[in-house]
Amino acid sequence: MKIHEYQAKSLLKKYDVPVQEGLAINDMKYFDDVISVLKEKGISQFVVKSQIHAGGRGKGKVYSKENRDELVVEGGVKFIGSDSEKGKEYAAKLLGNILVTHQTGGDGKEVQTLFITEGIDYRKELYIGILLDRTISKNVIMASTEGGVEIEKVAEETPEKIIKVWIDPSVGLLSYQARELAFGLGLEGNVNKNFIKFITNLYRAYEGLDASLLEINPMVITEDDNVIALDAKVTLDDNSFYRHKDYPELKDENEEDPLELEAAKYNLNYIKLDGNVGCMVNGAGLAMGTMDLIKLAGGSPANFLDVGGTATPDTVENGFKIILSDKNVKAILINIFGGIVRCDRVATGVVQAAKNINITVPVVVRLQGTNADEAKKILDESGLNLISATTLEEAAEKVTESLSKN
Amino acid sequence: MSILVNKKTKVVVQGITGSEGSFHASQMIEYGTNVVAGVTPGKGGSLFQDKVPVFNSVKDAVEATSADASVIFVPASFAADAIIEAADAGINVIVCITEGIPTKDMISVYDYVKNKNTDTHKVRFIGPNCPGIITPGECKIGIMPGFIHKKGRVGVISRSGTLTYEAVWQLTQLGIGQSTCIGIGGDPVIGTRFIDAVQLFNEDKDTDAIVMIGEIGGSAEEEAAYYIKKNVKKPVIGFIAGRTAPPGRRMGHAGAIISGGKGTADEKIKVMKECGIIMVDSPADIGITAKNALDKIAKKSLVKTAKPKTAKTVSSSKKSK
């Protein structure tokens, strides 16, 4: 699960990682209060930061929500100095409007939260990232002197500028490794010492939080030699939620597709795509394979939907509802491999669900495995507009056929 | 005739009295798997379905039954402990079906189990979040439907569950049997990787060809592909699911994600092709592509054995001219 910068920073603070101070607002009426609270803390210059789940906010463009062609302001993050009135004007332009960055795609994302933070004078920007190195099943800390730049770009153009340290799970991050990173980044004196504290706590946070990605870009060095996380990107491991009871609260539903949220309520694993053929499949791998098959059949997948191992009448009915809420869908392919779940039962479920819902697009149903022949019979004799198929190849052909008729 | 498991394998089921565990234990027994024991802490001394003894620990089960393989059906929060318990009890093949184990736990488990290996004792850990392993007609350890398989000479390795069933079913329908099918799982950290399974199939004299079913995320397919290029003479047929998957989204499996532009299907397919793997575009064609590859080697060996004869007939026909 992705979380916002302001949430990430509050989690990091619990592990004594120095972060840029700030407060989040979701309504302009809180702006003045936040400024006075920050001023009481001795902060005299400010930064306004849009909170969306995408990078490149600083270089993004803000468009009006009402009129998507109207450019409201350039940049979703700005240093506003000590003039809080000017900051208020800028903040008002962000909140409720659409921020488009290179990571959001053309649709952009609505800015619903702003993070008002202290403005920090710094003399150096660095990069720190912690994640799993899947090739050796160990965590790796990556550091680079090229802060503020996308790490993918650094990796491609100047890979020698990335220093890596792999963590042995039985002993954790060792002091010599922290020193290796510090000296590798060319840090000396007090900065060196402060960095070692910083990275040690940051790794402790990564482990303690069950993070699957922790990226500080940039991590800055201030005039007085402090090391501070200016930005923070944290992705939390969804599998760890059972031991972090507070994590579900961190989910920002505004960042999710409404159909995906709806599907989650039914325990369906659904991801919306922008194609014209909806699909419902049991199992993630087969679901991906089915999406690929739709593409080869001349269509384009409208979604990923894994209904799980059982595919009961209820899940099938809910799946139909979700898929049909997407108006781009011109045909549906149901692909169930009945192993332990019997195909005739699934077929009965499909027929029952189809009777309950007004289905206006052709539905190709491919059931294979246990009792597939009985299943086909049930579908064919249902009197409903269901096109049955037995092999995957046949299913693809029938999808192509249905699309050409449209 | 297979890799890792066969009719001699003695299986202990961890979590045998749970709903998943008991259902699949019965399915395994029905298939003919030699299930010798179950483990549920606190229920030691009882019998599962009036015949399989249940123990409080894997250690007790191993001491009493000499079980050498284990299959784990315990909830995600207990799974890491269960895997390590099996490894400590001296189990050789540990299969973890459980889905949803935190990555942090798996990093430690992976390291721990790896360090259990010595020159004389090899521990093979499969999964987690996988369908398991089956040697058709001999031993099924996992949740796959048994009937779709057929005894034969093609090895199947896959990160997915139902997509594997699909591929196996296509093979079986074409009359092509499998030596062993192994589901390695869809998580970012897994015990047995493609490269490990490929190596085993390559060394197995009863496997003639290998089917490898991968998906987006990570670079395990590429790693195996380079190994294949260097070491494997048997035909390898490959499919990668997720060509149409969007970047940055987790496609069901925790490990199926394109991140930072890495782990795309196109990238994997390109490397696998370059390494001589026969790549299948459509998931509908996995079976037929394997059949064609097998027919080709059959023909080759036919030509080899038939050569002297043809040579003779040619020369004799020349003479008669």
User: Among A123, A118, A100, which residue's Cα sits nearest to residue A110?
Assistant: A100
Which of A237, A239, A392 is nearest residue B166 as measured by Cβ atoms? A392
Say whether the peptide bond before residue B128 is cis (omega within 30 degrees of 0). yes
- Alpha-carbon distance of B43 to B85, in angstroms, equals 17
Which of B169, B186, B285 is nearest residue A284 as measured by Cβ atoms? B186
Compute how many other C-beta atoms are within 10 angstroms of the C-beta atom of residue B64: 13
Q: Which chain B residue's Cα is nearest to A391?
A: B284
- Alpha-carbon distance of B82 to B78, in angstroms, equals 6
Touching A: B residues 139-158, CB under 8 Å: 143-145, 147-148, 158
Q: What is the pLDDT of residue A347?
A: 87
Q: How confident is the model at residue B133 (pLDDT cuts 50, 70, 90)?
A: very high
Interchain CB distance below 8 Å, B186 and A139: no
Q: What is the pLDDT of residue B320?
A: 44
Q: How far is C-alpha A8 from the chain's CA centre?
A: 14
Q: pTM for the complete prediction?
A: 0.92
- Which residues of A fall within a CB distance of 8 Å from B143? 340
pLDDT at B18 over 70: yes
Per the CB < 8 A criterion, the answer to whether B128 and B158 are in contact is: no
Q: What is the pLDDT of residue A352?
A: 86
Q: How does the average pLDDT of chain A come out, rounded?
A: 92
Q: Which two tokens stand for residue B63?
A: 């001491």
User: Among B181, B161, B140, which residue's Cα sits nearest to residue B25?
Assistant: B140
Interchain CB distance below 8 Å, A337 and B110: no
**Predicted-complex ipTM score:** 0.91
Q: What is the pLDDT of residue B312?
A: 46
Per the CB < 8 A criterion, the answer to whether A28 and A43 are in contact is: no
More confident residue, B205 or B303: B205
- Alpha-carbon distance of B13 to B33, in angstroms, equals 11
Interchain CB distance below 8 Å, B282 and A396: yes
Q: Which of B24, B121, B149, B253 is catalytic?
A: B253
Residue A226: phi, psi to the nearest 5?
-80, 150
pLDDT at B307 over 70: no
Which of A135, A212, A337 is nearest residue B166 as measured by Cβ atoms? A337
Does residue A206 have an active-site annotation?
no
- Which residues of A fall within a CB distance of 8 Å from B148? 339, 369
Q: What is the pLDDT of residue A190?
A: 97
Q: Is A294 left (phi over 0), alpha (psi -120 to 50) or beta?
A: alpha
pLDDT at B253 over 80: yes
- Which residues of A fall within a CB distance of 8 Å from B103? 132, 210, 212, 237, 239-240
Which of A135, A169, A275 is nearest residue B108 as measured by Cβ atoms? A169
Q: How confident is the model at residue B120 (pLDDT cuts 50, 70, 90)?
A: confident
Per the CB < 8 A criterion, the answer to whether B297 and B208 are in contact is: yes
- Which residues of A fall within a CB distance of 8 Å from B142? none
Tell me the pLDDT tens digit for each residue of A222-280: 999 999 999 999 999 999 999 999 999 999 988 888 899 999 888 889 999 999 999 99
Say whether the peptide bond before residue A218 is cis (omega within 30 degrees of 0). yes
Q: Which chain B residue's Cα is nearest to A168?
A: B111
Q: How far is B143 from chain A (nearest CA, A)?
A: 8
Per the CB < 8 A criterion, the answer to whether A303 and A320 are in contact is: no
Per the CB < 8 A criterion, the answer to whether A43 and A118 are in contact is: yes
Q: How far is B126 from chain A (nearest CA, A)?
A: 14
Q: What is the mean pLDDT of residues B119-141?
A: 95
Interchain CB distance below 8 Å, A271 and B159: no
pLDDT lower than 70: segments of chain A: 309-311, 340, 406
Angle between helices A284-296 and B162-173 (to 10 degrees): 60
